[in-house]
Amino acid sequence: MNAPFEGIGASVRRKEDLRFISGRGNYTDDINRPNQTHAVFRRSDRPHATIVSIDTAAAKAAPGVVAVYTAEDLAAIGGLPCGWQIHSKDGSPMAEPKHPVLAEGKVRHVGDPIAVVIAETKQQARDAAELIAIELHDLPSTATVTDALKPGAGQVHDNAPGNVCYDWHIGDKEATEAAFARAAKVVKLDLENNRLVPNAMEPRVALGEYDRHTGDYTLFTTSQNPHVIRLLMGAFVLGLPEHKLRVVAPDVGGGFGSKIYHYAEEATVTWAAGKLGRPVKWTAERTESFMSDAHGRDHVSTAEMALDAQGNFLGLRVNTLANMGAYLSTFAPAVPTYLYATLLAGTYKTPVIYAEVKAVFTNTVPVDAYRGAGRPEATFLLERLVDTICHDTGADPIAIRRQNFIPKDAFPYQTPVALQYDSGDYFTTIEVAMKNADYAGFPARQAAAAAKGKLRGIGISTYLEACGIAPSAVVGSLGARAGLYEVANIRVHPTGSVTVFTGTHSHGQGHETTLAQLVTSQLGVPFSQVDIVHGDTARIPFGMGTYGSRSLAVGGTAMVKAMDKIIAKGKKIAAHLLEASVDDIEFADGSFKVAGTDRAKTLSEIALTAYVPHNYPITEIEPGLDETAFYDPANFTFPGGCHICEIEIDPETGVTSIVNFTAVDDVGRVINPMIVEGQVQGGVAQGIGQALLEHAIYDSNAQLLSGSFMDYTMPRADNLTNISVATENTLCTHNPLGVKGCGEVGAIGSPPAVINAVVNALKNYGVRHMNMPASPEKIWGIINAGRKAAE
Amino acid sequence: TVNGKSATIEVEGRTLLVELLREKLGLTGTHVGCDTSQCGACVVHVDGESVKACTMLAVQADGSSVLTIEGLAKADGTLHPMQEMFREHHALQCGFCTPGMVMAAVDLVAKNPQGLSEHEIREGLEGNLCRCTGYHNIVKAIDAAQPLMHARAAE
């Protein structure tokens, strides 16, 4: 009997599931250290205020309290750093106000931490935190970009006049103006991209520990990138060298971007652990997550397309205001610029594009990358604009897209906004999606729905994303303060089993399975004999972590490079043992063979020889079989595809139900189809959530109104339907696996498909556009107003 | 009893059942995902009923029998059909909601021997949030576990 195929292309069941379904996961909150204390933060309940006084005496005297700290105590440590610097149009660097670990002199958003109480138990810390007397003097506050830019608006930071962080642009302004000047038609659309709360199911946790014997610090934290946290916190905040600081991110319960960033609580517990000589643990309550985890999206934009008389896109002009929140989170400045405006060509050959982006401070939680990060905003803008062109001109949504797609033979394709797409085929993904969605059968289904009194609509979206982040030199020239390569260490043990140490991090993506499949395919080692280790700076040489759909394209490639070294070394050992020339040794299916003969050595035999080098070319090569590779990608990768959504609206309630959702994506080579399908389904669910349900709402004074699961509508099982997922892949041309990435495509492609369907369903009610979420309240209002007008 | 073993612990009056399980008994498979009884990550069975362990005081479970995710498989390690089907159908990604989701699903299926439609399964999961999967594969797994669980109950 043949062993089951467990290499590239097999839907292998996940290794990690056995512990997760049995309750044996090891999440950060499951970790407790001897003599541990508990931290509770006292946070601002005001959006913007001067701190007049803080009286901690009563809290310090409360039972079980070990320490109470405020900004005064942290005077010697730095602020939380920002990892990306954008320059404005005029060449000046962005305003980069200090982001103190604990509020210094002012609070700037609801949830801004003011003090921390450390006590023997969590209950004692919580009780004592309430005893801190804080006197605040309210200042004028703003929640939206439009309010923050008004003359006389409250100033979030003294060194960011007018609340502007930067005023940036990209593209050829003059050429774009010229295209508009000769256009037969210009279609303009004002639109907003709603603010979201990422809400990974596991709240953030940080546990700091100090070893008085060695002087070493350890931070256990819910992070997508422990090495990045070590670098940011060690070098910029606490002044600790890397060799004295270990960061461990064990099982992490979802991230979606929100666990990329270095947060104040991580620095506080690590610092306090050193100060107290005892472990300090903080676990967020969900209410804290809502007001302290970085939020996502929050753009206000105007988009204009210039068209010729035949419907060809001549030029695109975009103006976007992006909400940064009260402070700059780690990657925040990059999101509305290099992850957004560079994507505005989308799937289209629009010859000239000009985009202006103004980033604005407000008295809200910092905004940063959330699944898709910039690319969903670009896709929503473009795909809503294309459907609005159809609305205004009567063009067919399929025909106009096909007419303007980048032709199949145009790759590599240089866009007018910096990116060069290496591969793609938008004609195939749209065709297969239309077939899978039975697009042609829609009118009949619409008529059947109408007979039942329901409004049925269909919407299409095509998208392009840039991921596999990222070539270091390119992002460096664009303002990144880090390199974005990845690292893999492949250790072949003496008996032939393999441990992979990867700098990427799995928090749901299934790396322990997918990455093991790579080893099974490349080295021929049985799947059960491969373990993947991630999330510990003490075990893994280095790494930049997981975000931007980079783990396989960048981290997987680093593994391939390390395995190439293993094979090259193995060939030398095999040549020695088989008394052949190295050039005659071939490696396939786990064995080194002399070409054209049946003389061979298995990888296990070679490994044993490498570690027991009795008969070994010891003067030429070192013992051992353990190789590391750093890989810096040559370009981004460019997944793309087509999503089609079919919805039904109940006119009595305004409730929208998703009746069919079809995704056809080009994600490059697929390693595990089951996992890819799951990633797309999950991404689509978040996109549907954004389109129909989710919205982080602040009132006009910047109080957070949707601050719990009671107020913020998370997608539940009965809000969604089965999601049809298929892939039609073209291979990435610049990495050896041909992989592109699949983690974000669902959240990027789906929101405009949903809204295009809602607008389509409401076409008889004069609806040209609707901002997200398309809530029952909004829709019922439109339908009811239409009814009243008809009466 | 907890997972069939008797346990005697002294707790503060305000201690929640989930705190008792996680902090006093080391049963960290039961998770806490919110503070408003909305997410269902903490679902366990108390005397055969699924309960959000964040919404029940530990003292209320005095004398009851509590089953957590750690006690769901047989003593010999054989997984419960619901656990098997979650793995088979890729019904979990990060795994954080999974224990509560599995415990809620076991109760849902056990209480409905007549069988549940896809729509009814979706409605039955109203009390459990998952941010990773979009529920598609969770619904498939529960559907697939139905005949297996009913056959096991009939044995």
The interface residues of chain B toward chain A in range 112-151, judged by CB-CB distance below 8 A, are 118-119, 121-123, 125-126, 128-139
Percent share of chain A, pLDDT over 70: 100
Q: How confident is the model at residue A3 (pLDDT cuts 50, 70, 90)?
A: low
Q: Quick one: A514 exposed, middle or buried, by C-beta within 10 A (0-12, 13-18, 19+)? A: buried
Helix, strand, or coil (residue A587): strand
In this complex, the residue of A23, A286, A287 whose CB is nearest that of residue B29 is A23
Indicate if the alpha-carbon torsion angle A535, A504, A233, A328 is positive or negative: negative
Average pLDDT estimate for B108-129:
97
- Cα gap A370→A255, rounded to integer Å: 9
Answer whether 0.80 is exceeded by the pTM: yes
Indicate if the alpha-carbon torsion angle A66, A70, A73, A76 is positive or negative: positive
Q: How confident is the model at residue A790 (pLDDT cuts 50, 70, 90)?
A: confident
CA dihedral A691, A693, A698, A700 (to 10 degrees): 70
Q: Which residues of A touch B38 (CB under 8 A)?
A: 708-710, 714
Inter-helix orientation angle A673-688/B136-154, to 10°:
110
Average pLDDT estimate for A220-243:
97
Q: Mean pLDDT across chain B, nearest whole number?
A: 97
In this complex, the residue of B35, B83, B87 whose CB is nearest that of residue A285 is B35
Does B136 contact A18 at a Cβ distance shorter than 8 Å?
A: no
> How is residue A208 written in tokens?
């700091």
Look at residue A444 in the predicted model and tell me its pLDDT.
98
Of A289, A371, A357, nearest in space to A323 by CA: A357
Please compute, for residue B104, the number of CA atoms within 13 A of its CA located in the half-sphere on the CB side. 26
CA distance B106 to chain A (A): 13
Does B94 contact A720 at a Cβ distance shorter than 8 Å?
A: no
pLDDT over 90 at A665, yes or no: yes
Nearest chain A residue (CA) to B29: A23
Helix, strand, or coil (residue A310): coil
Average pLDDT estimate for A302-319:
98
Look at residue A2 in the predicted model and tell me its pLDDT.
57
- Report whether A625 contacts A606 (CB < 8 A): yes
**From the DSSP assignment, how many helices (H) and strands (E) are in chain A?**
19, 28
CA distance B23 to chain A (A): 9
Does B132 contact A682 at a Cβ distance shorter than 8 Å?
A: yes
- Report whether B127 contacts B108 (CB < 8 A): no
- Interface probe, candidates A15, A22, A220, chain B, greatest B C-beta count within 10 A: A22
Does B86 contact A17 at a Cβ distance shorter than 8 Å?
A: yes
CA dihedral A288, A290, A293, A296 (to 10 degrees): -170
Does B87 contact A23 at a Cβ distance shorter than 8 Å?
A: no
Does A22 contact B69 at a Cβ distance shorter than 8 Å?
A: yes
Length of chain A: 791
Of B67, B89, B82, nearest in space to B148 by CA: B82
Q: Which residues of B touch A370 (CB under 8 A)?
A: none
- Cα gap A784→A538, rounded to integer Å: 62
B17: contact with A, CB 8 A cutoff: no
**From the DSSP assignment, how many helices (H) and strands (E) are in chain B?**
5, 3
Give every CB contact of residue B87 below 8 A, 6+ residues apart in sequence: A13, A14, A17, A18, A21, B79
Q: Which amino acid is at B105?
A: A
CA distance B49 to chain A (A): 19
B73: contact with A, CB 8 A cutoff: yes
CA distance B42 to chain A (A): 11
Q: Which residues of B touch A746 (CB under 8 A)?
A: 134
Does B36 contact A201 at a Cβ distance shorter than 8 Å?
A: no
- Cα gap A17→A673, rounded to integer Å: 16
Average pLDDT estimate for B17-28:
97
B25: contact with A, CB 8 A cutoff: no
B30: contact with A, CB 8 A cutoff: yes
- Report whether B71 contacts B3 (CB < 8 A): yes
Q: What is the pLDDT of residues A428-458, one digit of tens each?
A: 999 999 999 999 999 999 999 999 999 999 9
Q: Which residues of A touch B125 (CB under 8 A)?
A: 716-718
Average pLDDT estimate for B118-146:
98
Count residue pairs from A and B with Cβ separation < 8 A: 179
Average pLDDT estimate for A326-340:
97
Average pLDDT estimate for A130-142:
98
Nearest chain A residue (CA) to B139: A717
Q: What is the pLDDT of residues A482-529, one digit of tens each?
A: 999 999 999 999 999 999 999 999 999 999 999 999 999 999 999 999
Average pLDDT estimate for A626-642:
98
B3: contact with A, CB 8 A cutoff: no
Look at residue A1 in the predicted model and tell me its pLDDT.
41
- Interface probe, candidates A27, A197, A201, A204, chain B, greatest B C-beta count within 10 A: A201
Q: Which amino acid is at A82?
A: C
In this complex, the residue of B119, B137, B139 whose CB is nearest that of residue A678 is B137
Does A678 contact B123 at a Cβ distance shorter than 8 Å?
A: no
- Interface probe, candidates B3, B96, B98, B137, chain A, greatest A C-beta count within 10 A: B96
Look at residue A551 in the predicted model and tell me its pLDDT.
96
> How is residue A328 written in tokens?
């700059």
B97: contact with A, CB 8 A cutoff: yes
- Give the ipTM: 0.98
CA distance B154 to chain A (A): 24
CA distances from A576 to A580, A606, A619 (A): 7, 10, 12
CA distance B89 to chain A (A): 8
- Interface probe, candidates B135, B138, B139, chain A, greatest A C-beta count within 10 A: B135
In this complex, the residue of B86, B119, B135 whose CB is nearest that of residue A685 is B135
Q: What is the pLDDT of residues A159-213, one digit of tens each?
A: 999 999 999 999 999 999 999 999 999 999 999 999 999 999 999 999 999 999 9
Q: Which residues of A touch B41 (CB under 8 A)?
A: 201
B27: contact with A, CB 8 A cutoff: yes
CA distance B63 to chain A (A): 24
Of A603, A582, A596, A407, nearest in space to A495 by CA: A603
Nearest chain A residue (CA) to B68: A23
The b-or-e profile of A432-458 (16+ CB within 10 A means b, else e) is bbbebbebeebeebbeebeeeebbbbb
Q: Mean pLDDT across chain A, nearest whole number?
A: 97
Of A293, A372, A312, A380, nearest in space to A109 by CA: A293
In this complex, the residue of A30, A201, A684 whose CB is nearest that of residue B39 is A201
Q: Which residues of A touch B87 (CB under 8 A)?
A: 13-14, 17-18, 21
Look at residue A631 in the predicted model and tell me its pLDDT.
97
Nearest chain B residue (CA) to A32: B23
Q: Which amino acid is at B22?
A: R
CA distance A509 to chain B (A): 6
CA dihedral A578, A581, A582, A583 (to 10 degrees): -130
Of A192, A781, A784, A752, nearest in space to A760 by CA: A752
